[in-house]
Structure 1
């Protein structure tokens, strides 16, 4: 009976979230701008709406994202359908992580997931046009989460239907068509395969998903368009890229990623830091641990006060090494890790949290191996934000709700108020633009 009530309440919460996203998407004005307009014009004028000719050219001269671009081409011509599907994708990313990190999430977990997602800067999913950016990042993330979910259920000994497996496999084809996501999925499915092997469970399910990811990676690596595009973008955006050493590319990916996270007025990172402090205060052990758990918020506000100085003194695109900056962001990272350590109830929780955060950083750091490191903009951080969001959800799921103290309640209230302000600001923004 209690389980049915939980399912009923969760369904109501999810439907409410979906309605909010439908409302937001229906209020987006001035579609078909930026890359959306360019893409539509190129498809209709230069290729007379011929899908085969258009995708053949794109595959040979520009990109391996054939599946993604098919849907991009379709939905840029059918905006009302895009609004509905985009609302579904936003709901998926706002809800499904809660079910992945916790076997039986409550309405609290789902709402927390939703509120954290709202804090991800809206500019990330509209940076190069609404349709172009969402189909390449938001929808990819949604499909990636759906493709992972059956494996997570199987590991937990939950029922996985054949329909769920088939549906997830189909969506995994879309998710694996994006370079960052295919690497992320290979990491996830490989880890799950190891866990199942250690547990003496059948590995056929996860092996099939891993196989799709590996084949997709081969498709990406052998696509002639990716090589041609790299040559063009190197010449356009980063002429010195071919001379960069392996170590310098790692340095670029590492430093630019952490610079963005630490030295930006970012509400998501602010509440990520606050979540660590709230968890630490709610698990009061001694004053030393309490002070350590407060470090993230101190660091965040200190970083905001020196943003202008940092950005003025360090120009990472000049091709030079800035070891002092690397040292600064590394020290800040270590302090964050120490703070997370004292908020965890055991070593297993800390290790899982740390792995999630490192994977989130890694999936953006690999952009250091691309000449579009600067041209790709902030949208390449979207996957990092979602993984960080899941790390917060994971740590909150370990709280004994019967002993929730005021710091957690205060965090939740502050998060709710901020999210409401952001929703209102987004509605004003999209209505004006």
Structure 2
């Protein structure tokens, strides 16, 4: 009996045990979800035409995702449990790669924090928007493989040795990830930054240079792919005709309002901005700095409040009882997401601009004396830009919640970096309290997703 307890304790003390727990929690999701929406459409593809014909049709008529789309069609057309096994492994890989890229010490505790933050990501509502199978493969898989693609940068930075087979694995992950446009932009940006950085440090890497050239070639491929232009025109005609007349400012306004009205109810942004508020108030005693620290948290509270006001039938009913009018006489979701831009769109742009400025200032203030300042800025910058680029797509509202995945994972990374940087500076009892607060919030976030399944 004692031997069994020792073995169990040994497993629980393993630094990757939290990620096994996360994987099990994701497995539970797969017991309840089933193919739907685009899963059904993709599932019939290879009964109608050969793979190469499907890829050719996609290239000329729909999308440059000529790698992702046939993979999605394959899994959608076979047993759901074949996909479930592969998908669960991808979720495991997601958490593992965040750990390998951004955790340097006290790995067991840090990996628990990764799990607490990840379970607050509303995977269920995001990944069922176009079908569980298709949405995961089009969004989660490229994002996860992009983290694998970034791992060589860390190994080169720390002068770690590459095994021969690793080059092939990293290259395959890069090719799959870059087939998704947002991921392609992220990878080419980061590889460009680090190729230049390593060049200044006289640390030349032929592998990084080759991958950068592949990434740049892929960007050209995305722009010249005729299917992307065809799809954009079809989406504009079908979903957002006015979009064809928009300039840069109008598209930025659309991006800003889509953040407010398309985001899911979730705990993640509240936790990460709440941590920033807490740590900034621990670090600074002057009120101007404290106001900068709390501003992003207040903004997130406002966003959640606006969503309740506009989207909640119960609130609308209460408003009608009190005022005799409906809130929808003033503002409606359909009014925001259709037609020409109005006051609320530009108000959203102004507020989002202040939010982004406060977020970046908060990040600089928190990490100005830390060697993690660059990573923190990259994480927050990736979070912001992942939403900005959505304004340049006519499907910004139609795509809905799933497009927030990139922002959420960037904020998971930012929250992890903050925790590792500032938690050790607190007293031991406060560290323990914060750990259990994150555990409680993670539990609430997971239950929120779980209850949407049953």
**TM-score, structure 2 normalization:** 0.83
Structure 1 pair 418–222 and aligned structure 2 pair: CA distance change class (3 A)? same
Corresponding residue for 1:328? 351
Q: Secondary structure at the match of 2:383?
A: helix
- In the aligned structure 1, how far is the partner of 2:448 from the partner of 2:248? 42
Corresponding residue for 1:82? 83
**Deviating 4+ runs (over 6 angstroms):** 5-8
- In the aligned structure 2, how far is the partner of 1:184 from the partner of 1:231? 25
Among 228, 232, 235, the residue aligned to 2:234:
232
- In the aligned structure 1, how far is the partner of 2:411 from the partner of 2:396? 21
Among 356, 360, 365, the residue aligned to 2:388:
365
Corresponding residue for 1:221? 223
- In the aligned structure 1, how far is the partner of 2:29 from the partner of 2:307? 32
Q: Does 1:19 align with 2:42?
A: no
User: Which structure 1 segments of 5+ residues have no match?
Assistant: none
Corresponding residue for 2:446? 423
Q: Secondary structure at the match of 1:119?
A: coil
Deviations 1:228-282 (A, max 9, x none): 21221111011122222233223433x2354358x86331111112111232244
Shift of 1:10: 1.6
Contact 2:121 2:445 in 1 (8 A): no
Q: Does 1:246 align with 2:248?
A: yes
Corresponding residue for 1:58? 58
- For this pair of structures, how many residues does the alignment match? 420
Deviations 1:192-233 (A, max 9, x none): 111111111013121122122222222222222222212211
- 1:64-143 maps to which residues of 2 (within 5 A)? 64-76=64-76, 77-104=78-105, 106-122=107-123, 123-143=125-145
Corresponding residue for 1:380? 403
- In the aligned structure 2, how far is the partner of 1:375 from the partner of 1:232? 13
- In the aligned structure 1, how far is the partner of 2:222 from the partner of 2:57? 15
- In the aligned structure 1, how far is the partner of 2:60 from the partner of 2:106? 45
Structure 1 pair 137–303 and aligned structure 2 pair: CA distance change class (3 A)? closer
Q: Does 1:280 align with 2:280?
A: yes
Corresponding residue for 1:35? 38
Moved more, 198-207 or 130-139: 198-207
Corresponding residue for 1:163? 165
Contact 2:149 2:173 in 1 (8 A): yes
- In the aligned structure 1, how far is the partner of 2:222 from the partner of 2:302? 42
Contact 1:93 1:117 in 2 (8 A): no
Contact 1:186 1:214 in 2 (8 A): yes
Structure 1 pair 170–400 and aligned structure 2 pair: CA distance change class (3 A)? same
Moved more, 332-341 or 93-102: 332-341
Shift of 1:153: 1.6
Aligned residues: CA RMSD = 2.9
Q: Secondary structure at the match of 2:14?
A: helix
Contact 1:95 1:114 in 2 (8 A): no
Q: Does 1:197 align with 2:220?
A: no
- In the aligned structure 1, how far is the partner of 2:286 from the partner of 2:140? 42
Shift of 1:351: 5.1
Corresponding residue for 1:301? 301
Corresponding residue for 2:322? none
Moved more, 175-184 or 374-383: 374-383
- In the aligned structure 2, how far is the partner of 1:55 from the partner of 1:298? 47
User: Which structure 2 segments of 5+ residues have no match?
Assistant: 1-9, 312-329
- In the aligned structure 2, how far is the partner of 1:386 from the partner of 1:248? 27
Deviations 1:59-98 (A, max 9, x none): 2211111111121111111321211111111122223123
Structure 1 pair 175–130 and aligned structure 2 pair: CA distance change class (3 A)? same
- In the aligned structure 2, how far is the partner of 1:288 from the partner of 1:315? 34
Contact 1:140 1:174 in 2 (8 A): yes
